[in-house]
Structure 1
Amino acid sequence: MGSSSTEVSTIVKNWREHPPASYSLKIHSFSQFENSSSSSDDKYQSRLFSSGRYKCKSLMVFTPPTEVFAEIRFFIYNKKENKYFTIQDVEVKRFNALKTVWGLQQILPCDTFSNPENGYIFEGGQCEFGVDVIVSLPLTNWEVLSYTEKFSNSKFSWAIKNFSELKENVLTSKSFSMAGKKWFLKLYPKGDSRADGKFLSIFLCLDDCDKPKDDEKISVQANFRVLDKRGSNHFQCQFNFWYNEQQLGGGWFEFLSLPELPKVYLDKEDALKVEIEFKAVSATKYSPII
């Protein structure tokens, strides 16, 4: 079976009441203009005009060797419609030292333009052309989001001894480093108040020294575990949380039923072993915010 492809045109034609914003060239006698331009290769170059930080003449950019990307829209005024006929190649044009001129070879048929009945030539030979040059400024604001997925040691383990005899309402582990940031675990052995004292509550917290900046976010994907004393049936939950300036801790108020702990998860020394295994931690590089 054969295949066919249709070339999609990037040329857009339209009508607009608003005049060109970058430059307008009005000619009061087109017939005289034709005669005078015949001695200059049938073309006329306008005076210099500015678009953005760049100087242009017609559509020649005189600021080499830098590269400039711009959208270009051409105008021809039509007195009969009292509007501007516009034509544009919607592809952004790349100006540089090797290519300083961009344009369109065909805008209107000459017969259509020169016939006064069509409205492009009016009041004894007047006509008007224009152009909008919309310069794309260099990229200055950006951010790059990446993930650390390989760690020299992806696990942090915490053994809490004499768990059944604990009097504290909240415990905090020692801090540890992962993906270039400091973390610690926070555990409520009698359950957080929001868990009605029936569940073990546990959270992964980001140290204040690594507190995200305004509008910055840090994603953590990990597995939380309470280790089975027999080493075969660990309790595990997948963790996926975005940290920000206001949210420095993520986890569960109702992580594991407290009545289940003595039966399965406390070893002979009455110790509870908690573990977190990191899968991915995000980092963001960004341009300075002004």
Structure 2
Amino acid sequence: VTTLNTREAPPAHFMIKIESFSVLEKYGIKKYETKKFVAGDYKWRLIFKFNGKDSDYISVNLAMADTTSLPTNWEVNALFSVFLFNQILVNYLSSTGRTLCFQATKSEWGISKFISRKVLSNPSNGYIIDESCVFGAEVFVVKREAVIEHVLLTNFNIYYNHALEISGFYQLAQRWVSEEFDAGGQKWKILLYPKRNAEGTGSHVGIYLYYLGTERVQTCFTVCMKNQFDDKQTRRYSSSSSWGGPVYIDLATINDPNKGFIVKDCCLLNIEINLPIKKLD
């Protein structure tokens, strides 16, 4: 089932109002193709499937139109989102945009389970009012204009350590910021987010190395979380990239009283910063 979001703004490229919606089921209409519309200098059309193989859901496909004028071995990449107007809340239900690759061998892609017929048909949900509903689409063509940067990585052979004691760990607000400290002749801070991870689900502690200088410096760092019961059981967590990406530590591990990472509401960290011999050009 597709992940859905809501927003106030209408779709940018195409909208269609379907009236007498129940007629589709009454006469067993399985598919409807919209008229052509233009987005990103290409022509497209939406294809709705109402009573297909998986009749519990409405599927919405995006197809390229007028491909005969395109060169041999053509390829078009596009970010596609489907919209459904909520006539009660006056906002739009939208699918999470997917980047699709259209080619001569496959010029149609879609969402097989955009919304269930049960949810769509329930008047209290606001999608079908007085037998009418409004769908829409956005199609953003991805053009190949990427800037490619080449970086020669140097060996990391200069190491700096910085110890941190964080008191009142369970009372921390949205963000905790360390005092400024020096490593490799540069100024740094540590930013700690008590409940964060890459997907924003709040299941991890996020630790970031923040560089205060203006020159480009390549680095990575490791966080050592001290077991206050047994030094030998100290945990090490490394950043996810050579550019000082964040370190995520799961809250379940930190909060386990048998691990010894939080004792008397206090956490002990050691930050190991690895710096190259020279800065990047």
| Structure possessing the higher radius of gyration over alpha carbons | 1
Settle same-fold status: TM greater than 0.5: no
TM-score under structure 2 normalisation? 0.43
Q: TM-score, normalised by structure 1?
A: 0.42
